[in-house]
Amino acid sequence: MSVMSTLGTLLEMQRGCVFLLDHMSGELRIVAAHGLEKHNIEKGKYRIGEGIVGRVLEKKIPMVIPNIGKEPMFLNKTGSRPEKEGISFLCIPIMLKNEVLGVLSVDRIYSKKQGSVDDDLRVLGIVASLIAQFIKLWESYERVEKEKEYLKRELKGKYSIEKVIGASDRMQEVFKSVYRVAPSKATVLLRGESGTGKELIAKAIHYMSPRSKGPFIKFNCASIPEGLLESELFGHEKGA
């Protein structure tokens, strides 16, 4: 994750993790990391209130551990720190408004020459805020995509050719034609008197075709002036 790499350079951190709360399991899990191997990431799971990471989520406040080797609450579940002495740990909640979404943590070699911890927490706070906004935007995007897929399935079922009633030989021929042309890219001309179901058949063809992911657009040719019909159907260049 580029954000974690940037933080690694900016704060001279050895390792960093983004934990998000899994509401199904009630656990914090690592979704992005810097300086950790895959097997370390898989081990990084915390319950709410467990260890420093779980406590930060529970209390919704940052925590700074100057030396993790002297802090019994630091659990090192990832197993990525064989030597704990001299390592500082900074942990901050990822929040949007009053909702806590996860935790951002950083650890690095402790040095008195380093800048103020308050400055580091301020930087982490900005990054955590950006991560929270991204998470919410992504959740909104996924929700919209799911709704779109649901509506497409509903429309496909509603306008399926199986829903068209007709037992006569003529209608059976129509159904066969629909199945034949729907998978193709051919232009289909439907002719018939008003009220005979042309639009219904057109929708059935559309939702059975490879173009079903796109919109079905209908318009009344009779209501469009003759001079504008061509541009309505085929488009036109600006200023033409």
Quote the mean pLDDT of the chain: 82
pLDDT tens across 16-33, in order?
A: 889 999 988 989 999 888
Q: Which 3-state string (H, E, C) describes 57-116?
A: HHHCCCEEECCHHHCCCCCCCCCCCCCCCCEEEEEEEEEECCEEEEEEEEEEECCCCCCC
The residue extents of the domains of the chain are 2-145, 159-220
Strand order in the sheet with 63-65: 45-47, 27-34, 15-22, 99-109, 87-96, 63-65
Cβ contacts of 68 within 8 Å, gap of 6 or more: 74, 76, 81, 84, 87, 88, 89, 107
DSSP one-letter string for 185-202: ---------TTSSHHHHH
Place of tokens 């007709």: 166
pLDDT of residue 10: 65
Tell the CATH topology of 2-145.
Beta-Lactamase (3.30.450)
* Mean of pLDDT values over 155-176: 79
pLDDT of residue 203: 87
| Residue 113 binned pLDDT confidence (cut-offs 50, 70, 90) | low
Specify the range with the lowest mean pLDDT, choosing from 1-10, 30-39, 116-125, 177-186.
1-10
In terms of Cβ atoms closer than 10 Å to its own Cβ (0-12, 13-18, 19+), residue 90 is buried
